[in-house]
């Protein structure tokens, strides 16, 4: 696919340095002596300890891994991921737009958000689907209840298998959430274990989203307490911020309790929804996305970008950038799956986008000129903060001025450079006048 309108890729080191410096202050306060916000969910692993290495980098890793694909079924997708502020990249994913054999008209997509290591997330990304299919419950002539039971059994089976391997091979202490979908010709099956999330946009609205599994949820809290644990600081035993996950075997060591009644349960919740021609797209993402933006906001933002850009990869990277600059400190991964009814690029939307960017360009020029008139050096971060306080019509819904960062950077560079090239001319002109 080609991009109808691609954002600028221009790097501005000074801007990044300023942004990093501000975010570093937030990280330092939040994780190194400041009061921790209860239930923030930023750290899925264990309590902070001065004797342990920091789970955060001094500078974010901004490199993105992006890919796309599709099938003859009319299902197209793109996936993007970024390490961000985390010391390690612990996310994994699986994208299979078309399965094989009797299920060749089915699709499968999943995001795995690892914590305390990558081993479980990577293993699940490679093997979970095989475990689900091995139950034999998922057939071409599908019965929704059988499919859901097959998915549930597959999750429990892979968790049992990994538990044995972890003991034998001395695995790390990692765990992983899982948010997945299986798409048949008739249904979308939503699968959730943990606090990654999936949503469906239909006819411009969020019609379904999965519920996060958090220790403070009443049903989850009851299971945790029945298993001999407690919920402190909205975490299991004050430590783990999710109540369901694959792996995390330190929380699954009560041998006489069933798998689903341990402190951490590997049992997914599975829902089916019948497909309609009005279905537009699915979003699967880790909590590095959802900590920064809500369901309706993200749906509106992605939908608006589809009307000005026909490259799903670019839209995924724009979402990642948006979440980063909204303050996400986690790994960030997102999959967008498009159905035939997804929004298409329109000339009207492109025209409005061009008018918006021209408006932003003019405002940036005004701010630069104003600062120059006060003999102040134009500061990009100040420009962005100034624009954030302005009422600018037509900004992308759910994204706001933050989502037009690249446009602001481009305009800032252009107008600052224009003033710098004019300065020598002004000096020469004044000298000639004095002569």
Residue 35 has pLDDT above 60, yes or no: no
Regarding predicted confidence, which is higher, 369 or 9?
369
Residue that is last in its domain, among 310, 338, 366: 338
Q: Are residues 159 and 263 in the same domain?
A: yes
- Per-residue pLDDT, averaged over 309-313, amounts to 97
Report yes or no: 306 and 342 within 8 Å, Cβ to Cβ: yes
Q: Are residues 175 and 60 in the same domain?
A: yes
Position 41 scores a pLDDT of 42
Cross-strand partners of 191: 180, 270
In a domain, 20, yes or no: no
Q: Are residues 264 and 321 in the same domain?
A: yes
Q: Are residues 419 and 282 in the same domain?
A: no
Position 375 scores a pLDDT of 77
- Quote the percentage of the chain above a pLDDT of 70: 84
Q: Are residues 299 and 352 in the same domain?
A: no
Alpha-carbon separation of residue 298 from 33, 44, 206, 329 (angstroms):
33, 22, 10, 18
Q: In this predicted model, what pLDDT tens digit does every residue of 329-374 receive, in sequence order?
A: 999 999 999 999 999 999 999 999 999 999 999 999 999 888 888 8
Q: Are residues 334 and 353 in the same domain?
A: no
The residue segments making up the domain with residue 165 are 42-338
In a domain, 211, yes or no: yes
Question: Whole-prediction pTM value?
Answer: 0.86
In a domain, 36, yes or no: no
Report the distance separating Cα 274 and Cα 225, nearest Å.
Answer: 36
Position 303 scores a pLDDT of 98
Position 424 scores a pLDDT of 55
In a domain, 11, yes or no: no
Residue that is last in its domain, among 306, 338, 370: 338
Regarding predicted confidence, which is higher, 335 or 5?
335
Domain count, the chain: 2
**Which of 13-22, 33-42, 240-249, 368-377 has the lowest average pLDDT?**
33-42
Residue 8 has pLDDT above 70, yes or no: no
Query: Residue 359: which residues within 8 A CB-CB, separation 6 or more?
Result: 392, 393, 394
Regarding predicted confidence, which is higher, 347 or 51?
347
Regarding predicted confidence, which is higher, 417 or 395?
395
In a domain, 181, yes or no: yes
In a domain, 195, yes or no: yes
Q: In this predicted model, what pLDDT tens digit does every residue of 67-118 receive, in sequence order?
A: 999 999 899 999 999 999 999 999 999 999 999 999 999 999 999 999 999 9
Residue that is last in its domain, among 294, 313, 338: 338
Mean pLDDT taken over the chain: 88
State the CB neighbour count (10 A cutoff) for residue 52.
10
In a domain, 287, yes or no: yes
Of the pLDDT bands very low, low, confident and very high (cuts 50, 70, 90), residue 7 is: very low
Phi, psi of 355 (to 5 degrees): -65, -40
Q: Say which residue the tokens 């002596």 belong to.
A: 33
Q: In this predicted model, what pLDDT tens digit does every residue of 168-227 receive, in sequence order?
A: 998 999 999 999 999 999 999 999 999 999 999 999 999 999 999 999 999 999 999 999
Q: Are residues 89 and 193 in the same domain?
A: yes
Q: Are residues 258 and 332 in the same domain?
A: yes
Residue 11 has pLDDT above 60, yes or no: no
Can you state the angle between helices 144-169 and 119-133, rounded to 10 degrees? 140
In a domain, 412, yes or no: yes
Q: Are residues 371 and 239 in the same domain?
A: no
Of the pLDDT bands very low, low, confident and very high (cuts 50, 70, 90), residue 421 is: low
CATH number for 364: 1.10.10.430
Q: Are residues 49 and 129 in the same domain?
A: yes
Q: Are residues 221 and 365 in the same domain?
A: no
CATH number for 243: 3.60.40.10
Q: Are residues 328 and 351 in the same domain?
A: no
- Per-residue pLDDT, averaged over 412-423, amounts to 76
């Amino acid at each position: 696919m080609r991009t109808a309108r691609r954002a600028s890729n221009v790097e501005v080191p000074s801007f990044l340095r300023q942004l990093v410096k501000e975010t570093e202050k937030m990280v330092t306060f939040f994780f190194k002596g400041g009061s921790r916000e209860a239930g923030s969910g930023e750290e899925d692993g264990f309590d902070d300890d001065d004797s342990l290495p920091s789970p955060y980098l001094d500078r974010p890793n901004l490199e993105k891994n992006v890919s796309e694909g599709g099938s003859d079924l009319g299902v197209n997708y793109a996936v993007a991921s970024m390490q961000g502020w985390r010391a390690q990249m612990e996310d994994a994913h699986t994208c299979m737009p078309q399965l094989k054999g009797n299920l060749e008209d089915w699709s499968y997509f999943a995001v795995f958000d690892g914590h305390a290591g990558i081993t479980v997330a990577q293993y699940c990304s490679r093997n979970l689907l095989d475990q689900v299919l091995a139950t034999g419950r998922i057939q071409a002539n599908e019965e929704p209840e059988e499919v859901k039971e097959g998915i549930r059994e597959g999750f429990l089976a892979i968790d049992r298998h990994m538990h044995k391997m972890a003991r034998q091979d001395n695995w790390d202490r990692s765990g992983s959430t899982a948010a997945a979908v299986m798409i048949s010709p008739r249904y979308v099956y939503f699968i959730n274990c943990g606090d990654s999330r999936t949503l469906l946009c239909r006819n411009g609205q969020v019609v379904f989203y999965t519920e996060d599994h958090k220790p403070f949820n009443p049903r989850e809290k009851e299971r945790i307490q029945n298993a001999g644990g407690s919920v402190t600081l909205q975490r299991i035993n004050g430590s783990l911020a999710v109540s369901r996950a694959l792996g995390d075997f330190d929380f699954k060591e009560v041998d006489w309790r069933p798998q689903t009644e341990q402190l951490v349960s590997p049992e997914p919740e599975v829902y089916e929804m019948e497909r309609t021609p009005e279905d537009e797209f699915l979003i699967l993402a880790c909590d590095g996305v959802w900590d920064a933006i809500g369901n309706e906001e993200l749906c509106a933002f992605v939908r608006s970008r589809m009307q000005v850009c026909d490259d799903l990869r670019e839209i995924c990277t724009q979402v990642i950038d948006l979440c980063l600059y909204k303050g996400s400190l986690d790994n960030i991964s997102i999959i967008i799956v498009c159905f035939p009814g997804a929004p298409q690029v329109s000339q009207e939307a492109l025209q409005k986008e061009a008018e918006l960017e021209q408006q932003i360009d003019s405002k940036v020029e005004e701010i630069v000129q104003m600062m120059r008139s006060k003999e102040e050096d134009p500061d990009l971060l100040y420009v962005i903060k100034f624009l954030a306080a302005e009422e600018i019509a037509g900004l992308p819904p759910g994204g706001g001025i933050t989502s037009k960062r690249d446009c602001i950077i481009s305009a800032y560079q252009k107008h600052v450079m224009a003033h710098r090239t004019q300065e020598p001319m002004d000096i020469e002109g004044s000298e000639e006048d004095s002569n």
